[in-house]
């Protein structure tokens, strides 16, 4: 389970407000809103990419989904339960790797696995925590770096470890905030392929629900079941991408149907208002269905 429902979610960073403004905010009104009445259902097991220009509110939304801040108005629920703070039903991968610098790669992954095991009552032994952690490091190609510290790893390697930790925690929902944003083009492509491969692998087992923030349209196309475009705190488009994985970048990104979506998204980036269109029935150009 891992269905995520946003109902009329608003968010404002201002807290130094007069009574009337506070009342308007409580009703989800006001010019200071960064998130403006967002409603969305992310199905269990769906990989949703959130794209949009800088400053449109993507990170704010992700932090709100992570429970690091409460919506100013509206509500968020996971499997019908209201979200009321951070929880081990979600793990987050940030752009800046967020590994503990004093721990080895293995210890970083073990920390997450142990914490999840304790909080969720899984009762893993020390040996089991180590085994799970090593297996996830191997899945991201980092088994040989298990005993190295973050300062001994490149950005791409650190991000592999962060992904291994998030996956090894075995949470229902994964939240990614531009995880490849600081990496060079080649490393970025490698990690996109890794992420795709991990999702294909997960298909055999049980897929996680993912919300993945990115600026990169091609990255979203390669990874997503669904792309939501955000502008100025609102959702402007919701585009299904029902193609099978893995998606070979060279071939997939050249498909005419995919080029159409690229063009639509570029149009939205460059002129969000004029190019707003109904993209709802886009899945008919792809094989497969929108929902997993
Ligand atoms: N801690 C904060 N306090 C006040 N305003 C903030 C804070 N964090 C973000 N903002 C503002 O909220 C708006 C949305 O920012 P956010 O970081 O969510 O956008 P974003 O779409 O993730 O941008 P980027 O792609 O550049 O990371 C921006 O106008 C930003 O200046």
Q: Work out the burial of residue 250: count CB atoms within 10 Å of its CB; fewer than 13 is exposed, 13-18 middle, 19 or more buried.
A: exposed
Looking at 170, 203, 219, the residue that finishes a domain is 170
Backbone phi, psi, residue 125, to 5°: -80, 170
Structural domain of 187: 4-89+172-285
Position 192 in a domain: yes
State the pLDDT at residue 185: 85
Looking at 170, 195, 225, the residue that finishes a domain is 170
Q: pLDDT tens, 190-236?
A: 888 888 887 877 665 677 899 999 989 999 999 999 999 999 999 99
pLDDT at 20 exceeding the cut of 80: no
Average pLDDT over residues 83-96: 86
Q: Best of 58, 96, 182, 235 to mutate for ligand 1, by most ligand atoms within 8 A of CB?
A: 58
**What is the Cα–Cα distance from 107 to 166, expressed in whole angstroms?**
13
Give the ranges where the chain is alpha helix by DSSP (H).
19-26, 58-66, 105-119, 126-139, 155-168, 185-204, 217-223, 249-252, 256-270
Q: pLDDT tens, 252-292?
A: 999 999 999 999 999 988 865 454 344 434 444 444 434 43
Distance 136 CA to ligand 1 centre (A): 32
**What is the Cα–Cα distance from 19 to 37, expressed in whole angstroms?**
21
State the pLDDT at residue 277: 43
Q: pLDDT tens, 116-142?
A: 888 888 889 999 999 999 998 998 888
Average pLDDT over residues 70-95: 90
Average pLDDT over residues 25-31: 61
Q: Tell me, yes or no, whether 147 and 180 share the same domain.
A: no
Q: Tell me, yes or no, whether 76 and 194 share the same domain.
A: yes
- What mean pLDDT is reported for the chain? 85
Ligand 1 binding pocket includes 58 (Cβ within 6 Å):
yes
Distance 50 CA to ligand 1 centre (A): 15
A 10 A CB-CB count for 254 gives: 10
pLDDT at 161 exceeding the cut of 90: yes
Position 220 in a domain: yes
Q: Tell me, yes or no, whether 248 and 177 share the same domain.
A: yes
Report which of residues 20 and 171 the model is more confident about: 171
Which atom of ligand 1 is least distant from the CA of 60?
18
Report which of residues 30 and 131 the model is more confident about: 131
Token pair, residue 238, equals 């919701």
Q: Tally the domains of the chain.
A: 2
Q: Tell me, yes or no, whether 157 and 190 share the same domain.
A: no
Position 292 in a domain: no
Average pLDDT over residues 19-27: 61
Ligand 1 binding pocket includes 16 (Cβ within 6 Å):
no
Identify which of 13, 130, 146, 128 has the alpha carbon closest to the alpha carbon of residue 69: 13
Is the ipTM above a cut-off of 0.95? yes
Q: What is the CATH number of the domain that holds 176?
A: 3.40.50.300
Ligand 1 binding pocket includes 95 (Cβ within 6 Å):
no
Nearest 5°: the CA angle 101, 105, 110 is 105
* Residue indicated by tokens 């089991």: 128
Q: Tell me, yes or no, whether 159 and 183 share the same domain.
A: no
Position 188 in a domain: yes
**Cβ within 8 Å of residue 203, ≥6 positions away:** 245
pLDDT at 176 exceeding the cut of 60: yes
Ligand 1 binding pocket includes 125 (Cβ within 6 Å):
no
Token pair, residue 167, equals 């996956």
Ligand 1 binding pocket includes 209 (Cβ within 6 Å):
no
Position 256 in a domain: yes
Report which of residues 252 and 27 the model is more confident about: 252
Distance 59 CA to ligand 1 centre (A): 7
Looking at 138, 170, 202, the residue that finishes a domain is 170
Identify which of 112, 11, 121, 26 has the alpha carbon closest to the alpha carbon of residue 65: 11
Q: Tell me, yes or no, whether 165 and 182 share the same domain.
A: no
Which atom of ligand 1 is least distant from the CA of 61?
18
State the pLDDT at residue 239: 95
């Amino acid at each position: 389970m891992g269905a995520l429902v946003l109902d009329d979610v608003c968010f404002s960073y201002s807290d130094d407000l007069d009574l009337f403004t506070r009342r308007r905010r409580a009703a989800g009104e006001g010019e200071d809103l960064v998130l403006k009445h967002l409603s969305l259902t992310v199905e269990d097991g769906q990989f949703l990419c959130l794209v949009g220009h800088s400053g449109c509110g993507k990170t704010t939304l992700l932090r709100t989904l992570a429970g690091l801040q409460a919506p100013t108005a509206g509500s968020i629920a996971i499997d019908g339960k209201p979200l009321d703070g951070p929880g081990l039903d979600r793990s987050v991968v940030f752009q800046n790797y967020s590994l503990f610098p004093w721990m080895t790669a293995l210890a970083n992954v073990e920390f997450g696995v142990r914490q999840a095991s304790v909080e969720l009552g899984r009762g893993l032994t020390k040996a089991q925590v180590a085994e799970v952690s090593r297996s996830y490091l191997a899945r991201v190609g980092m088994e040989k770096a298990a005993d190295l510290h973050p300062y001994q790893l490149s950005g791409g390697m650190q991000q592999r470890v962060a992904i291994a930790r998030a996956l090894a925690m075995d949470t229902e929902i994964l939240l990614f905030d531009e995880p490849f944003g600081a990496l060079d083009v080649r490393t970025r492509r490698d990690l996109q392929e890794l992420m795709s491969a991990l999702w294909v692998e997960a298909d055999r087992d049980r897929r996680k629900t993912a919300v993945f923030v990115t600026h990169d349209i091609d990255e979203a196309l390669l990874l997503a079941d669904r792309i939501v475009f955000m502008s100025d705190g609102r959702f402007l488009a919701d585009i299904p991408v029902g193609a099978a994985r893995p998606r070979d970048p060279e071939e997939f990104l050249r498909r005419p149907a995919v080029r159409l979506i690229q063009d639509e998204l570029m149009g939205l980036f460059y002129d969000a208002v004029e190019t707003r269109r109904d993209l709802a029935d886009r899945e008919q150009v792809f094989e497969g269905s929108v929902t997993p």
